[in-house]
A and B are shown apart, each in its own frame.
Chain A
Amino acid sequence: MTETASTPIAGGKIESHRHSPKRLMLVGGGILVLLALIAIAAPLIAPHDPEAVEVHRVLGAPSLQHPFGSDVLGRDVLSRVIYALRASLMVSVSAVLASLILAVPLGLAAGYFGRWVDSTISRTLDLILVFPAMLLAVTFIAILGPGSVIAAIAIAVIYLPILARVMRTSTLIVSRNDYIAGSRARGASHLRVLATHVAPNAFGPVIVQASVLSAFALQLEAGLSFLGLGTQPPTPSLGGMLADGREVLIQAPWVEIFPGLAIVVAVLGFTFLGEGLRRAFDPRGVAE
């Protein structure tokens, strides 16, 4: 959430930067690019058909043939994890992107025009925050029924107020700069000022926030799918795999361990990327 400037001076000691922003971004971005490539190339690299049921392989332990073992129905866990990345990344990334597309103009307008525009937008979006995020997602799904598209929409709605607020704050700060007033005084239209001066300079924090939220979106999607409310079988999803293996957890832990690890790695990717971006593009700590 808030960690001001990331250099807390504790009792006069100056925190040394062990992780440079560049390295964090590279590690995070590298993990994500790798996972995305795996997801895209799933049909090419998955060793087995993720749907292929093999009765004699039910709950088979990891082996050379099946490095992650096989599940309750004898399906290859590795192949399923590879395919499941598709749903998990797709839902979380598209949800955050959709949220971003709505939040940026709303935040820009609220921060730039202020007054009633600001209070209308901000107060309305605040209403969304009356519900805890997970509960709102569940409420959404209660209405519209389970599914990955619905889960993505729910996640997008949940993050709308957060992203819009970050955009609003950074717009507010950028708008205070003298050159903004200057270009208005020289007769530039609001739209032109927003597009050429405000938006490009106010983008940093919201991108940082989007990256951080992607990590949460991924967990949220997995949680919903775990409850059977997100991505529906037979499409493999990481959360769904965790739900399937719950009954056999103690006999066949590999059914749970590997999909879980995939989530952890993806979340770490977004977290590192977000933290690196934060240090590089959000020195004022606007993003939460």
Chain B
Amino acid sequence: MSAVLSMRNVGVSFRTADAAQPAPAVDGVSLDIHRGEIFGIVGESGSGKSTLANAVMGLLPPNALVSGSIRVNDREVVGLSDDALRSMRGDEVSMIFQDPTASLDPTWPVGDQIAETIRAHYPVNARDAKARAIALMGEVGIADAAARYGDVPHRFSGGQRQRIVIAAALANNPQLLVADEPTTALDVTIQAQVLQLIDRLRRDHGTTVLLITHDLGVVSMVSDRVGVMYGGRLLETAATRELFANPSHPYTRALLAANPAGAPRGTRLPVIPAAWNIESLREAELLRAAAGAVND
């Protein structure tokens, strides 16, 4: 069994304006993920798991420094040109994100957003792309797909939107799907359905999945193997059943014990901004947009 995704000693740090010494967000991660496998990475926010996911996709901001080696299907990703990365993304590798509502262009019909992934990589005419997009919508469980092709995202529920995001990401049958907290923004009941969908699709298509989450429940539900990240390092990897039964690293034990988020004493992580703060920021934006602007 060859590795679809192979990382060797991967490190990521960010250059900042005050340039002192960039603190590594990811440090010395080595990992092999095999074909058709769902590999879960668990960690708290700030553990570097999302940075790692974005490094695999080549989606890090320009001030990121990546070291080591990331190979997808034996092709080195680190140092690849922007164009080469782009032709790889959405075709060989794809990624889905936490918030399906925010992931879709609110002004575009959902079907076109699936079809454009196809047309970005293959010389397919509009009609064929549309037919394929409708088939994909059906496959991810959107009822009456042909009729709903032209609907804009806000006419769908959160769970349906994530299904559409998955369809758009898997439109070209990528070998690797990176799923960054794909169910966090969804209701608990919908979470399970979306995880089942991801599980079914990887069985049907042999897709390899790198599943990033802070939620041990999500990992236990679908992952074949699990890696635990903390402070930018991969502490341990094990088969899911084994990790839950017999965690070897003290942090993993603490994580399992103090579920959902219990860091060992004295290793406090950066505080997450309070939710209301973000909300009121958004509120200001909305109010302003609604009010319009008049100046003379």
User: Which chain B residue lies CB-closest to A4?
Assistant: B285
Q: How far is the CA of A228 from the CA of B295 in the complex (A)?
A: 23
B272 within 8 A of A: no
* B295 near A173: Cβ-Cβ < 8 Å: no
Instruction: Check if B62 sits within 8 Å of A13, measured CB to CB.
Output: yes
Q: When chains A and B are docked, how far (Å) is the Cα of A132 from the Cα of B287?
A: 22
Q: Please name all residues of chain A whose beta carbon is closer than 8 Å to the beta carbon of B63 when the two chains form the complex.
A: 14
> Which chain B positions have C-beta within 8 A of A236?
none
Question: B295–A286 contact, CB under 8 A?
Answer: no
**Given A173-B280, A284-B284, A285-B288: A16 and B296 within 8 A (CB)?**
no
Distance in Å: Cβ of A154 to nearest Cβ of chain B: 12
Q: Is B281 an interface residue (CB 8 A)?
A: yes
Decide yes or no whether B61 CB sits under 8 A from chain A. Answer: yes
A134 & B296 in contact (Cβ 8 Å cutoff): yes
Interface size class of B (residues with CB under 8 A): 10 to 19
Contacts of B62 in A (CB 8 A): 12-13
Report Cα–Cα, A2/B285, bound state, in Å.
9
Alpha-carbon gap, A220 to B296, bound state (A): 8
A129 within 8 A of B: yes
Task: List, in ascending order, chain B residues with CB within 8 A of A178's CB.
Answer: 276
Whether A158 pairs with B284 at a CB distance below 8 angstroms is no
Q: Which residues of B contact A212 (CB under 8 A)?
A: 295
Establish whether residues A2 and B293, one from each chain, have CB atoms under 8 Å apart when the complex forms: yes
Say whether B17 faces chain A, with CB atoms less than 8 Å apart. yes
CB<8 Å pairs between A and B, sample of 28: A4-B285, A13-B62, A14-B61, A129-B294, A132-B296, A133-B294, A158-B296, A169-B288, A169-B291, A172-B283, A172-B287, A173-B280, A173-B283, A178-B276, A213-B295, A216-B295, A220-B296, A284-B280, A284-B281, A284-B285, A285-B284, A285-B285, A285-B288, A286-B284, A286-B288, A288-B288, A288-B293, A288-B294
New contact pairs (5) apart from A1-B293, A284-B285, CB-CB < 8 Å:
A4-B285, A16-B17, A172-B287, A220-B296, A286-B288
Closest 5 interchain pairs by CB? A133-B296, A12-B61, A1-B293, A284-B284, A288-B293
Interface residues in chain A, defined as those with a beta carbon under 8 Å from any beta carbon in chain B: 1-2, 4, 12-14, 16, 129, 132-134, 158, 161-162, 165, 169, 172-173, 176, 178, 212-213, 216, 220, 284-286, 288
